[in-house]
Structures are given as structure tokens and as C-alpha cells.
Amino acid sequence: MYPEVFMTLHSPLRPSPQLDRLAESAAALGYEIVDIVGFLDLVETHARNQRGLLSTLGQSAQDVVAANGDVRERVVALGATSEQALREVQSSVSMVRTAGGKTRDVAVWVKALADRTDAVGETLKAVKANNSQIAQIATQVNTLAINAKIEAARAGEAGRGFAVVADAINDLSQKTRTAAKQISENIESLTGWIDDLGQEAESVADDAGQVLDTSSETDNALSRMENTIQTEHEQTLCIASSAERAQAALTQLQPAVQDIDATVRETSDGIETAHARMLALIDSSEHIVQSVASLGGTSVDAPFIAYVQKAAKAISDVFDAAVARGEISDAQLFDRQYQEIRGSHPAQFSTRALDFLDRVLPDIQEPALEFDSKVVFCAAVDVNGYLPTHNRMFSQPQSSDVVWNTAHCRNRRIFDDRVGLKAGRNTEDFLLQVYRRDMGGGEFRVMKDLSAPIRAGGRHWGALRLAYSR
């Protein structure tokens, strides 16, 4: 569309071998510094991550010390409680064993009582039999007394004394028979009681037998319980001892973590300082390249410098002509209200000038890819690093793969890193920077970024960036 801008290149001033060597050395220095800065970026990132991890570790160590202190206190309290429980269990076991011994004695006595009840029953049977004999004898005596009384009556006066004796014997036999009857009744009642007692004694004797049979098992169970409590108490003491050792180890760990954290922070601060100084060295090397080129020094970058200057001038002319024709307004061209495109990732943005830029920029940017095989891309950015229209190979539609998008969908994005902003805001004739380009997925390439300012209506719009490899 605007081929005349690429017809000629400005002829450089008379070359100087010293300036050429200086230009080459400055360019080589820039590469080395950028490579070192890239390494420092990586180290700084790792150091920052380590600082965060150490901070977390320090806090965790404090939490662990506090938690272990709580555990230690609780274990000590548990040890005291288990010791008290052990004493109480031992006392209870002793009491139970004593009670068990008495229970066994009672069981033995009950069994003996059952045996004695049987003997008492037999004795009562014998007494009952003897009492029956006494009753029979009393009956016989009563009969004899009656006969004696009859005979005494027949004898008259001579038998009167004998009759008195017969009456006494008769009275005695009656009382004896009444007593024997009462004794029999009492024996019957006592026999019933003895029988009931015997049956109950037999039942209790059976239970007592089971007590005697299980007393040894009970004693063994009590012994096991006592041993279990003793073992638990010993384990509690071991845990308390381990908690003490852990507390001591953690107490020693905290200062070590703090020392490591302080060392890492000091190292990180040193890396940040070195990083800042290296960035200053990059600026110095770029200034040297600028100065050498201004003095007429030539290098491998001279053709690229001339090319990007002419291409940037061509874009400035296109902008001026379009504004003059009313194709786009000055306000639209300098629109800085970036509207994020919904669903884009990485984020892409649009402005009111986007359609216009998509129409006019490719005719100037695409031929740059054919200028030299080292050229990687050629794209215009505004003063904020906004890149509206990229080369077609880097302007693919976005997919769901963020890593792929980062490498292949670089149009309509804002590159406000150090290199992008310096390029967009530079107002010198050109700016040569060396940088590490993020290709996505953790891949970087050391490249040169050559830019020249773009103006419209005398106002600084941005710059045309030409990136190429060594």
C-alpha cells in the first residue's frame, strides 16, 4: 500500500573501525547483561518463594511449638490423672480381693451350713421319734395309774395311800403326754423351718459354689485390669517424655528457621539490588549503542535501524493522511480507553482505533518479516505498550489452551513490561534493547528489540518495534 517508503535507506556516515568494535562490544555486553538479568529474575523469583515458604515454616514452627506445649501439658496432666487412677484401681483391687476373700469364706460357711442343716434335720427326726416313745410311755403310765386306782378302790382303807400315788402318777402322765404333744408340734414347726432353711441353703450353696468356681477368674480379671492401667500409665509417662524432647527440639528449631529466614531475606535483598544495578547496566549499554550509532559507528544492527526508522516514518505518514481525509479522528486514533474482550485469556483489549489499525498496519508490518531471516516480528505499540495489530502469524484466534494463546495470540494485548514501555515511550530516533522474550510455557528467547517513534499530527503516538535474533 505504501511501497515507496521502502525504496531507499539513509546512507550511514563514514565508518570507523573503533566505533564499529565499540558497537559490537556494546551489543555483546547487552546480550550478556540481559542473560544475567534473566537468571537474576529466576533466582529472585525462587528467593521470593523461599521467603514465603520460610515465613510459613516459621509460623508453622511457632504453631507446632504452641500445640506441642499444649499436648505436653495435657500429657503431664494425663500422667498425673493416670497415676491417681492407678492408685485408686490398686486400692479398689485390694478391696475387691479382700471382699472376694470374705465372699469365699461366706460361700464356704454357707455350704457348711447346708451340710449342718441336713444334720439338724436328722437330729430333729430322732428327737421326734424319742418324743413319740415318751408319749407312748405316758399313755402306758396313765393306763397303769388307772388300773392302780381301781385296785386301790377294791382294797378299801388299805389301798387309800396307793390311790393317792396312783392319782399323782396319773396327773404326771397327763402332763407328760401334753408336753410330748407340744414338743411334737414344735418339732413339726422346727422341722418345716429346717426344711425351708435347708432348701434355701442348698440354693445359696449352689451360688456359693459358683462364687468359689469363679473367684479365681475374678482375681485374674482384676490382675489384668491392674496390669492394663499400669501399662497405660507407663505409656503416658513415655509420651510425656517424648513431648518434652519434641519441645526441646522445636525450641532449638525456631532460631534456626529465623536465621535461615534472615539469611534468605538478606540474600533476596542483595539479589534485588543486583537486579536493579543490572537494569541500570542495560540502560548504559543501550545508551552506548545509541551514542555509537549517532557518531556513525556501524554494526550488524545498522540495516535494521535504518529499516525500522523508515517503516515508523511510513506509519506516521499514513496516520497523518488518514486524519486529514477524515478516515479517523484524532480522538479515535489516540483512544486509551482499553476495553477488555470478554472471554480472552490472556486478556485482549480493543479501542476505537482498532478497526482502522487492523486495516493499515499489516501493509507496513508484514514486509518486515521478509527483510531479514533474523526478524521475528514487527508490530506497532502505543505509549502504554498496547499492541493492537500484530503480524498475522501471531494473531491467531484464541483457543482454550492458555499456553498456546500466549505464544500465538499476541495481538490486542498490553505489553507493559520494561521493554514494551520503553519502546512505546521513547522519543529518540531509535532505541535498541536486548531482552528475554516470553514465548509461553516457561520458554524464553534472548532477542534484540529495535524501535522508532511513531507520530501523528506532531503528537507522539507510540513506536514501531522490530524484534530479531542475533
Paired residues of 456 in beta bridges: 459
Instruction: Please tell me whether residues 351 and 430 are part of one structural domain.
Output: yes
| Same structural domain, 427 and 314 | yes
If one counts the domains in the chain, the total is 2
CATH number of the domain encompassing residue 410: 3.30.450.20
Please list the alpha-helical segments (H only) found in 346-417.
354-360, 362-365, 368-371, 402-408
Do residue 429 and residue 350 come from a single domain? yes
Are residue 239 and residue 340 in the same domain, yes or no?
no
**pTM for this predicted structure:** 0.53
Q: Would 310 be classed as within a structural domain? A: yes
The answer on 303 and 194 residing in a single domain is no
User: Tell me, what DSSP letter sits at residue 429?
Assistant: S
What range does the domain containing 452 cover? 3-16+296-468
CATH number of the structural domain spanning residue 232 = 1.10.287.950
Residue 163 CA to residue 51 CA, distance in Å, equals 139
**Residue that has been written with the C-alpha cell 450353696 in this structure:** 205
Please tell me the distance from the alpha carbon of residue 130 to that of residue 92, in angstroms, as a whole number.
55
Same domain, yes or no: 367 and 447: yes
Q: Are 302 and 249 members of one domain?
A: no
Phi, psi for 296 (deg, rounded to 5) = 100, 5
- How many angstroms separate the CA atoms of 216 and 224, rounded? 12
Residue 8: predicted pLDDT: 37
Given a contact cutoff of 8 angstroms between Cβ atoms, the answer to whether 72 and 317 are in contact is no
Say whether both 313 and 427 belong to one domain. yes
With beta carbons less than 8 A apart as the criterion, state whether 369 and 391 touch.
yes
Give the CA count within 13 Å in the CB-facing half-sphere of 240.
17
Decide: residue 207, CB within 10 A, 0-12 exposed, 13-18 middle, 19+ buried: exposed
Domain boundary pick from 254, 283, 309:
254
Residue found by looking up cell 550509532 in the block: 293
Residue finishing a domain among 220, 254, 288: 254
Strand partners, 465: 379, 451
What are phi and psi for residue 446, nearest 5 degrees? -80, 125
**Integer Cα distance of 429 and 12 in angstroms:** 14
In a domain, 31, yes or no: no
For the record, the C-alpha cell of 70 comes out as 499444649
> Quick check: is 43 in a domain?
no
Looking at the structure, do residues 358 and 456 belong to the same domain, yes or no?
A: yes
First and final CA of the chain: distance in angstroms? 30
| Inside any domain, residue 42 | no
Give residue 123's pLDDT.
Answer: 72
In a domain, 45, yes or no: no
Q: pLDDT tens, position by position, for the chain (470 residues)?
A: 444 444 333 344 455 666 666 666 666 666 566 657 666 666 667 667 766 776 776 677 667 767 767 776 776 777 677 677 767 766 766 766 676 666 667 666 666 666 666 676 677 677 667 667 776 776 777 787 677 778 777 777 776 676 777 677 777 767 776 776 777 777 777 677 767 766 766 666 666 666 666 666 666 776 777 677 778 767 777 776 776 776 677 676 667 666 766 776 666 676 667 656 666 666 666 666 666 666 655 567 889 999 999 999 999 999 999 999 999 999 999 999 999 999 999 999 999 999 999 999 999 999 999 999 999 999 999 999 999 999 999 999 999 999 999 999 999 999 999 999 999 999 999 998 888 766 555 677 788 899 999 999 999 999 999 999 87
Q: How would you label 384-397 residue by residue, b for 16+ Cβ within 10 Å and e otherwise? A: ebbbbbbbeebbee
In a domain, 53, yes or no: no
Between CA 63 and CA 54 the distance in angstroms is: 14
For residue 421, CA distances in Å to 165, 351, 460, 464 come to 160, 18, 13, 12
Do 355 and 409 share a domain, yes or no?
A: yes
| Pair (246, 307) in one structural domain | no
Let me know: does 394 contact 377? Beta carbons within 8 Å.
Answer: yes
**Residues for the chain: how many in total?**
470
List C-alpha distances in Å: 304 to 129, 224, 286: 149, 94, 15
Contact 147, 133 (CB under 8 A): no
| pLDDT score recorded for residue 1 | 43
Q: Give the whole-angstrom CA distance, residue 364 versus residue 344.
A: 27
Torsion angle of C-alpha atoms 383, 388, 394, 399, degrees rounded to 10: 120
What is the spatial distance between Cα 140 and Cα 134, in angstroms, rounded to a whole number? 10
Q: Which of 254, 278, 306 lies at the terminal end of a domain, its last residue?
A: 254
In a domain, 156, yes or no: yes
Q: Is residue 172 part of a domain?
A: yes
In this structure, the answer to whether residues 196 and 338 fall within a common structural domain is no
Task: Give the pLDDT of residue 439.
Answer: 58
What is the distance between the alpha carbons of residues 160 and 151, in angstroms, rounded to a whole number? 10
